[in-house]
Amino acid sequence: SIPLGFFGGIGSASRAGVLVKGGNYLEALGDVTTIVFDKTGTLTEGVFQVTGLYPADNAQQNPEELLKYAAYAEYHSNHPIAESIRSAYGQELNQDRVGSYEELSGYGIRALLDGTEVLAGNKKLMEQHGISYAEPVQHGTVVHIAIGGSYAGHIVISDKVKQDAARAIKELKALNITKTVMLTGDARSVARSVGEELGIDEIHAELLPAGKVEQLERLVENKPAKEKVMFVGDGINDTPVLARADVGAAMGGLGSDAAIEAADIVIMTDEPSKIATAIRIAKRTRVIIW
Ligand code: ADP
Ligand code: MG
């Protein structure tokens, strides 16, 4: 049976915007010492702005055309990167021109536009398709584009750190959280600047979804038995990691139904500081019970 206090704790958490799916998770929350965050949409706004269009030297496309191909490639994707590219293009897209379409989690998109293959994604996607690309010097997240098997250039987009994320990390450190970790599929340079701005202890970048699971499992295996590892993600591409954590939290309205299903805790707003609120409630609930 579950001590009555847990219901009180779950009620307080839900009034604070945090749904805890049972007393056992509330208890585990009180034992969390390591918190692992996904980057995009969790620590950052997940709203990218296009900041530059760079056709390759030998490309046949001008900047506007590069953006148009990218927008078509991203037609069917609901990734925050896709939304930013479509909104920067701003013109209507004709769905009939988009043929087969594939979203490769952690890589990007492969789509047919009027029968021509368009790739839009990171350098791993280019490498996977044998496309040679120029390593850009710009800061920001880079989306490389290849059209009909030729490298066409890249688009630079940038996202902002959530103001609430800095507050969250500070509050968590005051709550006995001994290690904060960030996992991301994005480039190392972007990961480093976000991690340093927030004071995250450990950063792992350029990860595929399976790499995120591996890092999480390593953290779970290498901690003392009583201590728990929590993962916090926005539910885009991170459901497998969510399921492996001692306590998995899905955050914000962006999350997919699958993520909300797999999560032990659902944060109803997009504020990471709610994690600190939930841990505080969990610890207080325990004091009342014992
Ligand atoms: P994060 O780990 O920061 O949450 P994701 O795992 O969602 O990011 O994506 C990792 C990387 O994969 C992105 O930084 C991007 O390079 C590439 N990518 C994923 N989806 C897309 C897309 N729709 N278009 C272009 N690139 C994408
Ligand atoms: Mg993500």
How remote is the CA of residue 92 from the centroid of ligand 1, in Å? 24
The whole-angstrom separation of Cα 19 and Cα 25 is 10
Q: Percentage of the chain with pLDDT > 70?
A: 95
Is the confidence at residue 20, as pLDDT, over 90? yes
Sole residue written with tokens 């949409």: 41
pLDDT band at 93 (very low <50, low <70, confident <90, very high): very high
How remote is the CA of residue 206 from the centroid of ligand 1, in Å? 9
Helix axis angle, 4-15 to 23-30, nearest 10°: 80
Q: pLDDT: is 6 or 161 the higher one? A: 161
Atom of ligand 1 nearest to the CA of 183: 2
pLDDT band at 1 (very low <50, low <70, confident <90, very high): low
The whole-angstrom separation of Cα 134 and Cα 56 is 8
CA dihedral 265, 269, 271, 276 (to 10 degrees): -40
pLDDT band at 245 (very low <50, low <70, confident <90, very high): very high
Q: What is the 3 state secondary structure string of 164-212?
A: HHHHHHHHHHHCCCCEEEEECCCCHHHHHHHHHHHCCCEEECCCCHHHH
Q: pLDDT: is 135 or 206 the higher one? A: 206
Q: Which pTM does this prediction carry?
A: 0.89
The per-residue pLDDT for 3 is 61
Atom of ligand 1 nearest to the CA of 186: 14
Whether 110 is in the pocket of ligand 1, judged by its Cβ within 6 Å, is no
The per-residue pLDDT for 261 is 87
Ligand 1 probe mutation, 85, 237, 242, most atoms within 8 A of CB: 237
The per-residue pLDDT for 6 is 64
Q: pLDDT: is 203 or 284 the higher one? A: 203
As for the ipTM of the complex, it is 0.97
Fold of 4-45+162-289: Rossmann fold (3.40.50)
**What residues are labeled active site?**
38
Quick one: tokens of 10?
A: 């779950």
The whole-angstrom separation of Cα 19 and Cα 247 is 13
Domain layout of the chain by residue ranges: 4-45+162-289, 49-158
The per-residue pLDDT for 7 is 66
Atom of ligand 1 nearest to the CA of 82: 23
Strand order in the sheet with 150-158: 49-55, 150-158, 141-147, 116-121, 108-113, 98-104
How remote is the CA of residue 38 from the centroid of ligand 2, in Å? 6
The per-residue pLDDT for 37 is 97
Are 59 and 288 contacting, i.e. CB atoms less than 8 angstroms apart?
no
Nearest bound ligand to the CA of residue 234:
2
Is the confidence at residue 4, as pLDDT, over 70? no
CATH architecture, range 49-158: 3-Layer(aba) Sandwich (3.40)
Ligand 1 atom 27: residue of nearest CA:
108
The whole-angstrom separation of Cα 180 and Cα 86 is 34
Dump pLDDT digits (tens) for 49-87: 999 999 999 999 999 999 999 999 999 998 999 999 999
The per-residue pLDDT for 225 is 87
User: What is the average pLDDT value for the chain, to the nearest integer?
Assistant: 92
Whether 242 is in the pocket of ligand 1, judged by its Cβ within 6 Å, is no
Dump pLDDT digits (tens) for 261-284: 889 999 999 999 999 999 999 999
